[in-house]
Amino acid sequence: MIKLVKKFINKVLINIFQKKKHIKLGLYGPPNAGKTTLANRICQDWLGEDMGKVSNIAHETREIQIKEQISLKKDGKELSFNLVDTPGIATKIDYEDFMKVGMKEKAAKSRAKEATKGVIDSIKWLDEMDVVIVVLDATKDPYSQVNITIIGNLAARDIPVLVVGNKVDLKKANMKKVQAAFPQYELIGISAKYGKNVDEFYEALFVLAG
Amino acid sequence: MLTLQIVPYAEISGLSSIGRIRKLLNIAKENKIVLLEGRLTKEEETELIKVTMEEINKNFRGIELAVLEPEQGDMGGLAKIRKGFANVLLGNRTGLTVIGPANVVKQIKKDPNKIQLLTQESRSRKKKKKK
Ligand SMILES: Nc1nc2c(ncn2[C@@H]2O[C@H](COP(=O)(O)OP(=O)(O)OP(=O)(O)O)[C@@H](O)[C@H]2O)c(=O)[nH]1
Ligand SMILES: [Mg+2]
């Protein structure tokens, strides 16, 4: 864990000190975990605007979204990055699932089509990231292979990772279980929607960035 | 009817990454559940997801995927990555990979050392357990 944190710190520091112009901070995770909700929270807090549309229907984000030059400032320190919100990664997409939540067949099919392209783009963009926040739904089974595949890939590519368990406002949220699934990662439980622990989340970003 | 196809590691070890993915996905697209001895590399796993997405259509809705790592205990799936980095990069004949077509396998529940396949028709009635 310490090694990983160090790696994260080094990477961020090196990027900042080398004045690499824009570090790309990516939000990755399965569909519906709250990536866009967290992106909106970050953008609202630091820019006063939203980033993207949130929905309880999965695959709401189907194209890579980039918000440039977000600066977090605290105690004279500054952390700047381009925030990249990505489509949730899934191994299956069934248009009938969208129909079950009230979409018409045609709309459901085109959503499914766009969603498959979104997943492909998310995976293609993995290599572009300097730092990644993996957003998981803390009420869901953390052992889902998509989670493991994403985090494993980032590790294999040496991209520093911060794992966030979202939706801790819900009773079903189980951070212990998430931690058990990813024992060598530093985990933060937050509620992106209600702002719970979001200050600690920023804190973690700052600590990591020196 | 449920069909399981066991793929010994020897059957994919000589193939290229693309060849491996093609072979496994073709079996899944025949509505069979693939039990692969061993596992793909992490990059092959994402490639498998990518190719799966490209091929989704009316008849093929994607896959359920689970990888069981050996000697995991309560260390979780990623302990291995940090411990045996080379293994992850090279793929491995240890462990077990389950690939189920989404229209047959509704969900794969994974605990560190147990996999449960919940199949479509049966929901709660028929649960297949694998150790
Ligand atoms: N209770 C609760 N709900 C949340 C929280 N964060 C997000 N949600 C809800 O979860 C759903 C999905 O949120 P999104 O932000 O659209 O999720 P996403 O990860 O961007 O999903 P995709 O774009 O489909 O990949 C929405 O209904 C949100 O309101 C949270 O902290 N608590
Ligand atoms: Mg989204």
* Domain annotation for chain B: domains and CATH numbers: 4-130 (3.30.950)
Which pairing describes strands B63-68 and B105-111: parallel, antiparallel, or unpaired? Answer: unpaired
Q: How many residue pairs bridge chain A and chain B with CB atoms within 8 Å of each other?
A: 99
Q: For chain A, which residues make up each domain, given as ranges?
A: 22-209
Among protein residues, the one whose CA lies closest to atom 26 of ligand 1 = A56
Respond yes or no on whether ipTM tops 0.90: no
The answer on pLDDT for A83 being more than 50 is yes
pLDDT digits (tens, 9 = 90+) for A33-78: 999 999 999 999 999 999 999 999 999 999 999 999 999 988 888 8
Asked if B100 contacts B128 with a C-beta cutoff of 8 angstroms, the reply is no
Whether A180 has its CB under 8 Å from any CB of chain B: the answer is yes
Going by pLDDT thresholds of 50, 70 and 90, the confidence category of residue A11 is low
The answer on pLDDT for B71 being more than 90 is no
Query: What is the average pLDDT across B24-43?
Result: 95
pLDDT digits (tens, 9 = 90+) for A12-33: 665 554 555 678 999 999 999 9
Q: Report the residue count for chain B.
A: 131
- The architecture (CATH level 2) of A22-209 comes to 3-Layer(aba) Sandwich (3.40)
A26, β-bridge pairs: A84, A132
Tell me the pTM. 0.88
Whether A144 has its CB under 8 Å from any CB of chain B: the answer is yes
pLDDT digits (tens, 9 = 90+) for B91-114: 678 889 999 999 998 888 877 677
pLDDT digits (tens, 9 = 90+) for A133-170: 999 999 999 999 999 999 999 999 988 899 999 999 99
The H helix count followed by the E strand count for chain A is 7, 6
